Amino acid sequence: MKKITFLYLFTSFISFAQWNQLGADIDGLVANEQSGTSNDLNADGTVLIVGAPRAMDNGIMTGKARVYEWNGTNWTQRGDDLIGSNQGDVFGEAVSISSDGNTIAVGAPGFLNTSYLSPTGPTGYTRIFEWNGTSWIQKGTDINGEAPNDVAGSSISLTANGNRIAIGASSNDGVNGSSSGHCRIYEWNGSAWNQLGSDIDGEAANDFSGSVSINATGTIVAIGASGNDAGGTNTGQVRVYEWNGSSWIQKGTDIDSDNTNASFGYTISLDTSGNTFIAGGYSFVNGALGFVKVFSWDGTDWVQKGETILGTTGSDFFGTAVGISQDGSVITASSLTLVNGYVRVFKFIGSSWIQQGADILGETNGDQFGRSLSLSANGSILAAGTPFNDGNGTSAGHVRVFENTTLSTSNFENSTISFYPNPTNNIVNFSSPETIEIISLYNLLGQEVLSKEINSNEFKLDISSQPSGTYIAKINSKGKSQSIKLIKL
């Protein structure tokens, strides 16, 4: 038999421990504020911003945002409520947070403002705040939309240091027609927010281009246009742009869906580098099944990474919200399903997206569990918003935070391992420059089916007693771990 050796650089690992709730529910404070419509976690998953866009202030529905911090046992509010200015601002419809959790942005697209449909209706605005150790202080003035009824601030995305922000205005009429939409990027110069480059306009009328995500350094931005018709009616589209020092230049070709009414690009999220992104299409011709796709930059263009991930049944609306880890290896997507709603997390192993743990289920029918999602940088902490939960009053909403500690990054530095054959009928041969202490084998339900103490650089793993299928071998050495996909014939 021909010997085929697989070499793996030891990077991050995964395993299949279940998702456990971290702390109690973070409930909206009163009925109807729909807390959890938006949320965002900082890099280490210890600071969380939550939007409650229908919250009242002195009898006026301005909307609010709140920031919470993990104290080791529970989530406690950090600073006072952040409050919108006017009736119907829906302040908190979108939120974003910097890596350290000390800069936050809150979008107020204003689409419930009573003057929204008038020629002088609200443009929408975004506010940025900075933590001074005791309070949230506004950083610069409001960043307003361009024209009435733009709904600017319906999607926002901060860079890692919080000094650049992408703001989507999906109903802007721009140069390409009514509701073609656009994205603007702003940079903090030390005293004010200044636009960086020109508007990035949608391709055509009714594209609703304006779902945005910016990379850590603020040099790459991905923009979804859920109403784009390039591949058919409302198929949707994603475009990616890169900053060249003076303007935003499209990076690669358009990424068009070919599913009618898919609304691809309705949600989008970039990894830290800006070279991998996930985008959702929450509906298409097969009912409202929904799907997500991941794309990576190959040096020339965008190529799909792994398979398309579909919802389970019609009316799932899978892909309504999405998230991605800093290295693009862990993704999450939600379904608003007419039942409880669910969230799924996947890890890229070999050439496939493998689900991590069981579905995370919502609490009650109609809650819209997973309406908003965010991941910590390493993908081990997940926040899911549920705006119509009634736990603290009708549609008070809440956010739940979950943790899967075995998804956190743990590296074998500068080391490789070889293993063969794969697929196999029985024996897999392993060789590593480092001493392997323990190897454990898991099935795709996350169940450990085999564990063996090794304490050697070379060893043979006998899986002849296991049923045919796909397994994950988790290898441990000196507190570091790596997982490898094995196929038993």
Chain position carrying tokens 């929408």 = 124
Neighbouring residues of 488: CB distance < 8 A, sequence distance ≥ 6: 423, 424, 425, 463, 466, 467, 468, 469, 470, 471
Cα within 13 Å of Cα(10), Cβ side? 22
Give which of 94, 101, 144 is closest to 381, Cα–Cα.
101
Q: Domains along the chain?
A: 6-10+412-488 (2.60.40.3080), 20-403 (2.130.10.130)
User: Measured on CA atoms in the order 459, 465, 469, 472, is the torsion positive or negative?
Assistant: negative
Per-residue pLDDT at 282 = 87
User: Measured on CA atoms in the order 263, 108, 150, 175, is the torsion positive or negative?
Assistant: negative
Neighbours of 41 (CB within 10 A): 24
The CA-based angle 299-169-210, given to 5 degrees, is: 30
Which string of b and e fits 118-150 if b means at least 16 CB within 10 Å? eeebbbbbbbbbbbeeeebeebbeebbbebbbb
Per-residue pLDDT at 15 = 42
If DSSP codes are grouped into helix, strand and coil, which group holds residue 406? helix
Per-residue pLDDT at 11 = 34
Main-chain dihedrals φ then ψ at residue 83, nearest 5 degrees = -125, 140
Q: Which residues pair with 302 in a beta bridge?
A: 297
195-222: per-residue pLDDT in tens? 999 999 999 999 999 999 999 999 999 9
pTM above 0.85, yes or no: no
Neighbouring residues of 203: CB distance < 8 A, sequence distance ≥ 6: 176, 180, 209, 225, 228, 230, 237, 239, 254
Report residues of the chain scoring pLDDT below 70. Answer: 1-17, 114-121, 284-287, 338, 405-416, 444-446, 479-480
Q: How far is CA 416 from CA 7, 402, 472, in A?
A: 6, 32, 17
